[in-house]
Structure 1
Amino acid sequence: MHSAPVKRSNRLARGRAVGVLCAVAASLSLLSACSSDDGDDTSSGTKQADRAAEQAAATASASASPRLSEDQAERRKLITATKVDWDKAAMTAEKEVSGGKLLEIELGDDDQGNPEWDAEVVASDGTSTDVRIDGVTGKVTKSEKDKDQDAGDKKENTDKLAAAEITSMKAAETATDRKKGTVTSVGLDDSDGGPTVWAVDVVTPATWVKTTFDIDAGNGKVLHENIDRD
């Protein structure tokens, strides 16, 4: 849709140049001098028209790029506004709980739409604490124990952590070695009959596509890779 205006601009530029040459030809007494001067003017006008055409073509190319999906636009908004990386937020969250270890952390937004890290940290007895970290300042905005957890929940938490031979940091490093981008989520999970895994989300800034890696928490091997193009 942008190519038509570019062609019209070039035709107008050429038309003006032809008009000038005709006027010069009609002025026989000034033919030699005007021919020289108008040649320069025509060349300058053509260069300006060419530059305008190049700029218009670049704009048309950018406009032709695929639109971002709602999820991709949300990822771009959060990631570009976030100043605190996941690992720094995780360390801050762990310090909120005595002997605490990170179970999971994810980038989201608060009630005002500002970036926020939501972390779950587990104490040595399995008690889970929800810790929120401001994604811009890195300060703790909330630290609250889960009131609904029972003995079974606590045991499940400690079992997951006990099965993790590699750290969340190492898992994230493995994921970003496979796919360059920004880590937006790291979580320890176990599947029925399968190994305990670190699930790591990596978002590629160029496309804002999210890739999730399931990394064996026992040996650090990548078990699964899923690309979310939505």
Structure 2
Amino acid sequence: MKRHLIIATAAAAALIAGGTVTAVAATSDSGSGGAQAAAQQTAHTAPSGPGTAQVQDGRSSIRMADGNDGQGDIREAKAAKVTAPDAAAAALKAVPGTVTGLDLDADRPGLVWDAEVLGKDGKQHEVTLDAGTARVLNQHLDRGDDDDRGPQRAALTNARTTAAEAARSAAPRGTVTSVELDDDHGPKPAWEVETITKDGKEHTFLADPQSGKLTAAPAQDADDNDGSDD
């Protein structure tokens, strides 16, 4: 009895390129009318390279959809287990440098902290962190226009107050949901810190990058945030 073994394989280059390789083996018996058996083996390669974090599954441990009922912010604040300062510390472990922004948000990965970091390499990085564990879920370079970040970088050069310190200053006023170095409130950039209280009221504070002094944002700016849901 004669057997014929046919093996089809993808080129080895596909493995190097990060693709999927499938090998199929079939045996046929000329005397029995072609009984066949197939075996498949699949190999995957994970993306790697500068600015890419190696992560387990890329999803937050707190599964939460972005709500549109006006209560999303308070739900996010109550569900988050990682504070803004802790998120800043986790982001800096992933990308050494200076945190320039933090934002608590519910998106497709679940509840996360989105952190912006000006790395020691001079590049802007975006790091997504699990709001339940501070685990890095994603990390990549921000390809935005560096010219627009000129004032921000200049302010950071001489800043004595970090994003984490600004968040700690505002924490007694409510749960901090956002920290950003912003120049919309005056001639000089300041840390804009958004908080939300247990009754769902949102407030905006400004922390001086030099002194760390915390003040309430101008009324017209604060009113834009009270009771709103991005």
TM-score tier, shorter chain, comes to 0.5 to 0.7
Per the alignment, residue 132 of structure 1 pairs with 128
- Are 1:221 and 2:219 matched, yes or no? no
Letter in 2 for 1:128: Q
Question: Pick from 93, 100, 107: which aligns with 1:110?
Answer: 107
5 Å matches for 1:157-168?
Answer: 157-168=152-163
8 Å CA contact retained: 1:94, 1:121: yes
User: Which has the greater radius of gyration?
Assistant: 1
Q: 1:157 to 1:215 in 2, by over 3 A?
A: closer
With CA pairs under 8 Å and 6+ residues apart, which has the higher RCO, 1 or 2? 2
2-side partners of 1:110 and 1:191: how far apart?
26
Q: 1:138 to 1:126 in 2, by over 3 A?
A: same
The Cα of 1:201 is off from its aligned counterpart by: 0.9
Per the alignment, residue 35 of structure 1 pairs with none
Letter in 2 for 1:108: D
Per the alignment, residue 58 of structure 1 pairs with none
Q: What's the RMSD between the two structures over aligned residues?
A: 2.3
Identity %, equivalent residues:
32
- Are 1:173 and 2:168 matched, yes or no? yes
Letter in 2 for 1:200: V
Question: Pick from 194, 213, 218: which aligns with 1:201?
Answer: 194
8 Å CA contact retained: 1:127, 1:154: no
5 Å matches for 1:20-99?
Answer: 70-71=69-70, 73-98=71-96
Where do 5+ consecutive residues of structure 2 fail to align?
1-67
The Cα of 1:157 is off from its aligned counterpart by: 4.1
Q: What is the TM-score of this pair, normalised by structure 1?
A: 0.60
Q: How many residues align structurally?
A: 155
Question: Pick from 120, 128, 136: which aligns with 2:116?
Answer: 120
8 Å CA contact retained: 1:201, 1:213: yes
1-side partners of 2:143 and 2:100: how far apart?
17
The Cα of 1:192 is off from its aligned counterpart by: 8.2
Letter in 1 for 2:82: V
8 Å CA contact retained: 1:196, 1:218: no
Deviating above 6 A after TM superposition, structure 1's stretches of 4 or more consecutive aligned residues are none
Q: 1:214 to 1:193 in 2, by over 3 A?
A: closer
Question: Pick from 174, 198, 212: which aligns with 2:204?
Answer: 212
Letter in 1 for 2:204: T
Q: Secondary structure at the match of 2:202?
A: strand
2-side partners of 1:224 and 1:103: how far apart?
20
C-alpha deviations, 1:82-138, integer Å up to 9, x for none?
12111111111111113x1100000001215x2110010001353100100011222
8 Å CA contact retained: 1:183, 1:202: yes
Per the alignment, residue 64 of structure 1 pairs with none
- Decide which structure has greater helix share: 1
Q: What is the TM-score of this pair, normalised by structure 2?
A: 0.60
1-side partners of 2:164 and 2:144: how far apart?
29
